[in-house]
């Protein structure tokens, strides 16, 4: 297991202001630029990952490092694969702990966008590190709770966390009773070699999602329902 802290990130205040339609001459611009500066000082994106091995697969289950995950899609995607990389990446708890929004609704909204940038930095940093260190070739990732509820139920987040032990002590991330992660800009998942290029969005019926990365794939959906390999 490896823990990564102080992952480098850059906050382009002008770009972020543009995304939030904040005009440079507006009253709120000063507050916004100060907030970006403070977030840049306080922020500490982090990640934890491990090199894990698949022990066995059942009809709808796959066992990784002794933990049984229940997801037909995960099991199918990991067919024939021996090694995977469970991970948790986060914007870091420091922004929330510093209470930079001071309870202000608008600042809270801005901070969410800033934290999203830090999370993005963590994700890309870990993805590139894994590529360079393990020479993985093409990879895909699956995340508990992403896509339709049955793809990989969010409750399995607890099992994923159990692969790492004290996640809060390692990178400051906690799980709520309903399996949501805190800080909110945190992603957990398993990265695995995949030449085909799997995206969970292919198995997600949600319409109008601004984050969609691939069209819904009816054929793949039906294949996954029947349990056949794709
Ligand atoms: S379509 Fe949207 S909600 Fe569905 S898996 Fe993709 S990003 Fe997530």
147 lines ligand 1 (CB under 6 A): yes
pLDDT at 25: 87
Residue 100 CB neighbour total at 10 angstroms: 21
pLDDT at 227: 54
141 lines ligand 1 (CB under 6 A): no
CA of 148 to the centre of ligand 1 (A): 8
CA of 214 to the centre of ligand 1 (A): 9
**pTM assigned to the model:** 0.94
H helix runs in 81-143, sequence order = 94-97, 105-134
CA of 18 to the centre of ligand 1 (A): 25
pLDDT at 196: 86
Distance CA(168)–CA(229), nearest Å, equals: 37
Residues 6+ apart with CB under 8 A from 195: 137, 138
198: enclosing H helix or E strand: none
CA of 34 to the centre of ligand 1 (A): 33
Please list the rounded mean pLDDT of every run of 10 residues in the chain (230 residues). Answer: 96 94 91 96 97 89 96 93 97 94 92 96 97 93 92 95 98 96 97 92 92 91 67
């Amino acid at each position: 297991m490896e823990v990564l802290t102080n992952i480098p990130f850059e906050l382009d205040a002008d770009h972020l202001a543009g995304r939030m339609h904040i005009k440079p001459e507006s009253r709120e611009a000063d507050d916004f630029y100060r907030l970006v500066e403070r977030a840049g000082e306080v922020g500490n994106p982090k990640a934890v990952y491990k090199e894990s091995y698949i022990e066995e697969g059942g009809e709808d289950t796959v066992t990784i490092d002794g933990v049984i995950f229940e997801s037909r899609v995960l099991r199918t995607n990991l067919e024939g694969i021996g090694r995977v990389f469970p991970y948790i990446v986060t914007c870091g708890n420091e922004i929330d702990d510093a209470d930079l929004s001071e309870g202000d609704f608008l600042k809270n909204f801005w901070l969410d966008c800033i934290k999203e940038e830090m999370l993005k930095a963590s994700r890309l940093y870990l993805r590139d590190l894994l590529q360079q260190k393990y020479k993985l070739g093409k990879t895909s990732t699956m995340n508990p709770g992403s896509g339709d509820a049955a793809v990989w139920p969010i409750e399995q987040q607890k099992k994923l966390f159990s692969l790492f032990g004290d996640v809060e002590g390692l990178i400051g991330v906690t799980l709520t009773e309903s399996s949501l992660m805190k800080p909110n800009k945190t992603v957990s998942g398993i990265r695995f070699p995949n030449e085909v290029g799997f995206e969970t969005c292919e198995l997600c019926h949600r319409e109008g999602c601004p984050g969609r990365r691939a069209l819904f794939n009816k054929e793949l959906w039906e294949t996954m329902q029947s349990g056949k390999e794709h």
